[in-house]
Structure formats: structure tokens, C-alpha cells
């Protein structure tokens, strides 16, 4: 009996440890929503009357929104759709593509994934700005004269946040969970204090109050959804970060701790406003989160909330790095310099270009919008757009992958489409008030992503048209060039044909190495590839080999490390006797271009500014030779 108890406690211990870690890393975005979500429904672009009907209706909407969107759609259903343990929109697209990728509708799934990724970049710019601003705006509750310091302090905090990225978060990350646990417990206690004083607020658990809100003010209730949805921002992040902690610990964190704390705070804010006189309620609704605390504790609460928003912003920025790495590996973004900030945790990466681009965008947002209420109008449309796309992908998942019966799948999806569609439509009315920003960023990102993907496809097709089969080339080159000692590795983007660098080398240098390896890096539609499946080697004769290295879209492509494990190409690889030959293409405009001329020029610009294969594949700098060629697309 004692052994059974011991084993059971050991199995629960790692789960509990991961659940605690998830609280610090994953739930910061949705955890800081109480700073502004409830407030915005009353003081946003479409203000509501501050009375029992509207307060109960809004609190009921928040509760049922979190139940349907977060607890049911993301935590209960989508977290079952893991791609070898990884979650997120691109991982879901890769999972679905394995089943329907070659069908005539497969391209629609990929397009939806690209659209969601494009919107994510808008979200990752707005989240740090609105979170930090909303926390520091608590200073105006402490003392009204401090309002002029809010924007400068926000800029300082955000600059420090982005400068921290290149150092990694391994050390400071240990503080994330304790800080967030204290934050969640604090907001829960503040909520309990006011709920106890006005227990009638608990009746908002009944969805009838939300229905009554819609019956009374149809249009205002619809428009209020645009602010209510701010309570579920960060839902997609929960799914994306599933790979770091696992489905079980994430669910334990949400249902056992985070969700109850958030609900207690939202219900507490509503209870506090209901219990106030009209004049006091009108003043308190401008910042109810901080008004909940006694005067003496408001400054500590501001500091705690600022720390929580710092952590939430850190998680979003790390998410942007992770999504960018996935998009690079899947062929939607040019190669960028990726630095690993931890020797122990391979998932901790830093992408300088993304970091500084986000920093500039976030600072400009703070300076332009000036306060969190203005930013809230811009925030919702990126979030609801991504949620609606996830709902579309979920419909494909249920019917095409999981093979749910239509009689079950249709009612389930109808509920999610109605809810997410209503959120998106309500936020679309905010386009003139700031919603244009994430749409603009999303449009730019979508153009860049699709231009790169299409350009690469056209480039490979053009090079494949003039490529010579490698076995034929090996036989023809046998007597036409002198053989020199050593190994030459020629990088090739395709699985077939002879690399242009190999053709140019024999044309101009008239020599071939004793061992010639044509190397292709293939990225699978799964996050990780087992080591035994990493290398695929084929001997072509005459000292020629074709090697394909398989990687998952979450893995680092370290070619020297992979070559050191290959023992099927004759002698082991000695990098001091190995030269890497890379092809660098110069694009020329064709008379009948494969895409619009401006996109062709954009693709050429992206190629020129992408990281070199030498840097991206970790090739030794003193063993690389680049040979150029001109290609029309």
C-alpha cells in the first residue's frame, strides 16, 4: 500500500511542477486582462449605463465567454490536437496537412494558417503596449498628478524588456512563477472581499442575465462583445505553449488555479460597482481594478501588476520568436539569424530582427495611442481574427482528421462559429478607432509571407527545369575533371537534380573532390524528427552521394552536428578536409513573370537581406565557398 502511494505521488509531482511553471510562463496574457477588460465595456467607444442590468449582463458575458472559448474550445478540444506534443496554429496546419495536404482544398488550410500567423504579429505588438500601459495607469489612482509619468515610464519598461531578450530569460524566468502566483492570489482575494459584500453578483453565473442584456439593448450588447472578448485574449497562446508544459499540467493550472482567480476578480469588480453610489461608481469604473484595493495597498498593487504585465509581454515576445522559427522552417519567412540563449533549453531562442522590429512598433504604439483605452480598440480585432481562423481549422480537424460524425460536429462547430463570429464582427466596428493597425500589420505580414512562399516555389521550379539528374552528371563528369583530395558538400534546395554550384564549380575550376555530397535539408510537417530518421543517404557511384537531412519545424538545423553522426558515406566527415559550396541566385525579371513585378522585386529584396545558409545551418565560416548564378522567375 505504501509503495502504491509513493509511486502515485511521484507521478503527480512532475505534473504539479509543470503546472506551476505554466502559471508563470503561459497565463500572463490572459491573466492581465482584468486590468482593462471589464472597464472597457463601460468606458470604451460604446459606453454602457452603469446600472445593475448592464453590470450583471457584462459579468455574465465574461463568464460564459471564458467558459466557451477558453475552457471548451482551446483547453478541452484544441489541446487534444497536438502535433507530436506541439500546439499552435502552424503546428495545427502541419497536422491537418498530413491528412488533406494533397487534396484540392489543402491549400485553403495553409492559407488560413498564414493569415493567423500574420495577425499574430499585430497581436504581439499590441499586447506589451496595452498591458504595461494599463498597469502603470494605476498610478493615476494612487495620485492624479502622476498621470504625466505613465507614458515615459511605459517606454522605459518596454525598452528594458526588449533589451533583456538577447540575454535570455533562464535566470529571471525562475521568478516568473512566484510573481504570477502572488499576482493571481492577490486579484482573487480582492475579488472575494467585494463578492462577500455584494453576493448577488454570483447570480451572473446564470446566462439569463446575458440574454436579458441583449433583449434590452440589442445593438449596445452586440458592440459590448468587442470589449468583453478582451477577457479571453491569450487563448491562442495557451494552445501554442502546450508543447513546453504538456496538456495535463496546462489543464491543471487553468481549471485548478488561474480560471477561479480570474473569475473571482471579474465578479469582484462587478460587485464593487453595484455596491457604490452612482457618482462614486461613475468615477470608479474608469479604473475598477485598482480601486478594488484599499488606498494603502494601491501602489504595491501597481508594482505587482506592472511585474505581471512585464512577464506577460515576455511570453508574447518569446512566442513571436517561436512562431517565426516555425514559419522559417516551413518556408514562409526568409532565413533570419537565430541565436540560442540557453544550452539546456533548446526552445529558448532570440531573433534580433524580430526583437528590434517589435520594439520599434511597440514604442510607436505607446506614443501614438497614449493610453490603454485607445489601444483596446486596436487590440480586439487581431485576437478575434486569429480565434475565428482557429475555429475554421478546428472544423477541418473534427471532420477530416478526427472523423467526427456530422450530427455531432455540426452543432459543436455552430456554437463556436456563432460566438467567435460575433466577437469578430463586433470588433470590426472598431476599425476607424484603431482596429486598422492590426489589419495593416496583418496585411503587410501576409503579403511578405505569401510572396516568399510563392517566390521560393517559382525559383525551385525554374532551377528544376534546367537541372541535370545527379546520376547522369556523375557518369559524365568522371573523365572531364581532375579529382582532388577531400570532401565537397554542395547544398541543394530540391530532392533531385544537380546543384547549380556543382555545375559552376566543374565549369570554372575543372576539378572534383574525391567525395562529392549533394546535401538537402528537408523540414517535416512535425515538430521533431527522431535521431535515427535524421539522415537519408544514397550512393550514386563515382564517389557521389546524395544526403537528405530531415528536421522538424521546431528544430535547429545544425548540419555539422548531423554530419558527425553519419557513417554511410565512406570515411567519417572531417570538417578540416571538407568544403561547403553554396549557390547564391540573382533574380532577373522575366518577360512573363510568375508573379506580379512588384512582388518579384519584393522577393528579390527579401532574398538579398535573408541570413546566409552558412549562418543559418551553422557551417564553419572558413570552409564555405559561394558560387552565384542568375535565374528568371
One domain for residues 522 and 623: yes
Identify the H or E element spanning 628: strand 624-632
Does 155 reside within a domain? yes
Q: Which residue has the higher pLDDT, 247 or 467?
A: 247
Rounded to the nearest 10°, the torsion over CA 439, 440, 443, 448 is -140
**Cross-strand pairs, 253:** none
Q: Which residue has the higher pLDDT, 514 or 4?
A: 514
One domain for residues 103 and 169: yes
Does residue 560 contact residue 566 with C-beta atoms inside 8 Å?
no
One domain for residues 507 and 403: no
CA 494/CA 503 separation, integer angstroms: 15
What is the tens place of the pLDDT at every residue in 270-327? Answer: 999 999 998 999 999 999 999 999 999 999 999 999 999 999 998 888 888 888 988 8
Strand 482-491 versus strand 544-551 pairing type: unpaired
Contacts of residue 450, Cβ cutoff 8 Å, sequence gap at least 6: 114, 332
One domain for residues 175 and 249: yes
One domain for residues 444 and 493: no
| For residues 508-535, average pLDDT | 88
Q: What is the pLDDT of residue 2?
A: 40
The 10 Å CB-count burial string (b at 16+, else e) for 43-72 is bbbbbbebeeebbbbbbbbbbbbbbbbbbb
Does residue 491 contact residue 519 with C-beta atoms inside 8 Å?
yes
Does 461 reside within a domain? no
Strand 349-350 versus strand 511-523 pairing type: unpaired
Domain containing residue 254: CATH number? 1.20.1740.10
C-alpha distances (whole Å) from 385 to each of 123, 378, 381, 390 are 10, 12, 6, 9
One domain for residues 35 and 177: yes
CA 540/CA 570 separation, integer angstroms: 13
In this model, does residue 346 exceed pLDDT 90? no
In this model, does residue 489 exceed pLDDT 80? yes
One domain for residues 231 and 346: yes
Does 135 reside within a domain? yes
| For residues 22-44, average pLDDT | 91
One domain for residues 548 and 436: no
The 10 Å CB-count burial string (b at 16+, else e) for 446-469 is bebbbbbbbbbebbeebbeeebee
* DSSP at 169: S
Q: What is the pLDDT of residue 1?
A: 40
Give the distance from CA 541 to its chain's centroid: 45
In this model, does residue 161 exceed pLDDT 80? yes
C-alpha cell read off for 542 = 563515382
Contacts of residue 435, Cβ cutoff 8 Å, sequence gap at least 6: 377, 378, 380, 381, 427, 428
Picking from 394, 429, 453, the residue at the C-terminal end of a domain is 453
Give the distance from CA 190 to its chain's centroid: 32
Give the distance from CA 84 to its chain's centroid: 17
List the domain range (segments joined by +) for residue 573.
467-632
In this model, does residue 567 exceed pLDDT 70? yes
One domain for residues 484 and 548: yes
Q: How confident is the model at residue 466 (pLDDT cuts 50, 70, 90)?
A: low
State the average pLDDT for the chain: 88
Count of the separate structural domains present in the chain: 2
Does residue 169 contact residue 175 with C-beta atoms inside 8 Å?
no
Does 459 reside within a domain? no
One domain for residues 286 and 434: yes
Picking from 404, 427, 453, the residue at the C-terminal end of a domain is 453
In this model, does residue 11 exceed pLDDT 70? no
Q: What is the pLDDT of residue 243?
A: 77
Q: What is the pLDDT of residue 411?
A: 94
One domain for residues 244 and 324: yes
Q: How confident is the model at residue 125 (pLDDT cuts 50, 70, 90)?
A: very high
Q: Which residue has the higher pLDDT, 80 or 584?
A: 80
CA 259/CA 265 separation, integer angstroms: 10
* DSSP at 469: P
Picking from 453, 481, 496, the residue at the C-terminal end of a domain is 453
Question: Helix 52-65 and helix 208-216: axis angle, to 10°?
Answer: 130
One domain for residues 17 and 68: yes
Q: What is the pLDDT of residue 9?
A: 42
The number of beta carbons lying within 10 Å of the beta carbon of residue 8 is 10
DSSP letters, 3-64, are HHHHHHHHHHHHHHHHHHHHHHHTTHHHHTGGGTHHHHHHHSSS----SHHHHHHHHHHHHH
Q: What is the pLDDT of residue 31?
A: 93
Does 460 reside within a domain? no
Q: What is the pLDDT of residue 577?
A: 87
Contacts of residue 3, Cβ cutoff 8 Å, sequence gap at least 6: none
In this model, does residue 8 exceed pLDDT 60? no
If you average pLDDT over each of 283-292, 339-348, 478-487, which comes out highest?
283-292
Give the three-class secondary structure for 84: coil
Does 458 reside within a domain? no
Does 1 reside within a domain? no
Q: How confident is the model at residue 333 (pLDDT cuts 50, 70, 90)?
A: very high
Give the distance from CA 3 to its chain's centroid: 43
Identify the H or E element spanning 133: helix 106-136
Does 398 reside within a domain? yes
Instruction: Give the residue from 467, 462, 523, 498 showing the smallest Cα distance to 581.
Output: 498
Amino acid at each position: 500500500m505504501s509503495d502504491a502511494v509513493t509511486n502515485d505521488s511521484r507521478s503527480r509531482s512532475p505534473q504539479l511542477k509543470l503546472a506551476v511553471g505554466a502559471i508563470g510562463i503561459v497565463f500572463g496574457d490572459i491573466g492581465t486582462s482584468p486590468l482593462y477588460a471589464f472597464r472597457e465595456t463601460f468606458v470604451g467607444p460604446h459606453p454602457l449605463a452603469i446600472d445593475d442590468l448592464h453590470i450583471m449582463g457584462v459579468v455574465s458575458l465574461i463568464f460564459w465567454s471564458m467558459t466557451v472559448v477558453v475552457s471548451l474550445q482551446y483547453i478541452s478540444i484544441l489541446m487534444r490536437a497536438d502535433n507530436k506534443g506541439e500546439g499552435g496554429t502552424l503546428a495545427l496546419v502541419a497536422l491537418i496537412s498530413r491528412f488533406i495536404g494533397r487534396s484540392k482544398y489543402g491549400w485553403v488550410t495553409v492559407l488560413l494558417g498564414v493569415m493567423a500567423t500574420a495577425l499574430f504579429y499585430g497581436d504581439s505588438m499590441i499586447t506589451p503596449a496595452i498591458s504595461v500601459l494599463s498597469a502603470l495607469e494605476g498610478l493615476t489612482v494612487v495620485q492624479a498628478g502622476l498621470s504625466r509619468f505613465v507614458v515615459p515610464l511605459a517606454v522605459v519598461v518596454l525598452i528594458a524588456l526588449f533589451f533583456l531578450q538577447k540575454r535570455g530569460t533562464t535566470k529571471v524566468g525562475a521568478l516568473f512563477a512566484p510573481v504570477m502566483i502572488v499576482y493571481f492570489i492577490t486579484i482573487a482575494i480582492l475579488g472575494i472581499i467585494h463578492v462577500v459584500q455584494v453576493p448577488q453578483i454570483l447570480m451572473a453565473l446564470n446566462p439569463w442575465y446575458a440574454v436579458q442584456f441583449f433583449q434590452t439593448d440589442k445593438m449596445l450588447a452586440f458592440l459590448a462583445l468587442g470589449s468583453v472578448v478582451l477577457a479571453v485574449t491569450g487563448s491562442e497562446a495557451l494552445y501554442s505553449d502546450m508543447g513546453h508544459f504538456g496538456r495535463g499540467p496546462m489543464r491543471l493550472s487553468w481549471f485548478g488555479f488561474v480560471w477561479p482567480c480570474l473569475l473571482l476578480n471579474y465578479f469582484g469588480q462587478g460587485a464593487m460597482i453595484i455596491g457604490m453610489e452612482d457618482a462614486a461608481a461613475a468615477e470608479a469604473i474608469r479604473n475598477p481594478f485598482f480601486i478594488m484595493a484599499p488606498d494603502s495597498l494601491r501602489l504595491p498593487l501597481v508594482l505587482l501588476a506592472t511585474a505581471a504585465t512585464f512577464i506577460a509581454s515576455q511570453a508574447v515576445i518569446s512566442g513571436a520568436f517561436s512562431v517565426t522559427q516555425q514559419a522559417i522552417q516551413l518556408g514562409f519567412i526568409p532565413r533570419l539569424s537565430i541565436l540560442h540563449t540557453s544550452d539546456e533549453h533548446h526552445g529558448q531562442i532570440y531573433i534580433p530582427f524580430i526583437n528590434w522590429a517589435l520594439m520599434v512598433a511597440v514604442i510607436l504604439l505607446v506614443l501614438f495611442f497614449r493610453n490603454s483605452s485607445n489601444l483596446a480598440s486596436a487590440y480586439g480585432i487581431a485576437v478575434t481574427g486569429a480565434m475565428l481562423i482557429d475555429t475554421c481549422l478546428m472544423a477541418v480537424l473534427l471532420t477530416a482528421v478526427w472523423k467526427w460524425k456530422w450530427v455531432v460536429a455540426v452543432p459543436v462547430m455552430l456554437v463556436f462559429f456563432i460566438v467567435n463570429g460575433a466577437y469578430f464582427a463586433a470588433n470590426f466596428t472598431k476599425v476607424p478607432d484603431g482596429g486598422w493597425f492590426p489589419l495593416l500589420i496583418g496585411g503587410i505580414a501576409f503579403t511578405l509571407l505569401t510572396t516568399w512562399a510563392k517566390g521560393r516555389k517559382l525559383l525551385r521550379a525554374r532551377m528544376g527545369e534546367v537541372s541535370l539528374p545527379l546520376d547522369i552528371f556523375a557518369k559524365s563528369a568522371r573523365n572531364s575533371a581532375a579529382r582532388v583530395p577531400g570532401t565537397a558538400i554542395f547544398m541543394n534546395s530540391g530532392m533531385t537534380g544537380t546543384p547549380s554550384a556543382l555545375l559552376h564549380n566543374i565549369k570554372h575550376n575543372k576539378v572534383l573532390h574525391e567525395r562529392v555530397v549533394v546535401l538537402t535539408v528537408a523540414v517535416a510537417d512535425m515538430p521533431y524528427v527522431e535521431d535515427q530518421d535524421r539522415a537519408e543517404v544514397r550512393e550514386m557511384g563515382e564517389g557521389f552521394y546524395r544526403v537528405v537531412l530531415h528536421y522538424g519545424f521546431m528544430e535547429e538545423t545544425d548540419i555539422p552536428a548531423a554530419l558527425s553522426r553519419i557513417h554511410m558515406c565512406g570515411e567519417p566527415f572531417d570538417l578540416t578536409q571538407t568544403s561547403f559550396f553554396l549557390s547564391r541566385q540573382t533574380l532577373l525579371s522575366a518577360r512573363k513573370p510568375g508573379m506580379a513585378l512588384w512582388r518579384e522585386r519584393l522577393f528579390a529584396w527579401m532574398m538579398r537581406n535573408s541570413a546566409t545558409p552558412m549562418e543559418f545551418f551553422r557551417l564553419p565560416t572558413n570552409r564555405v565557398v559561394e558560387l552565384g548564378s542568375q535565374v528568371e522567375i
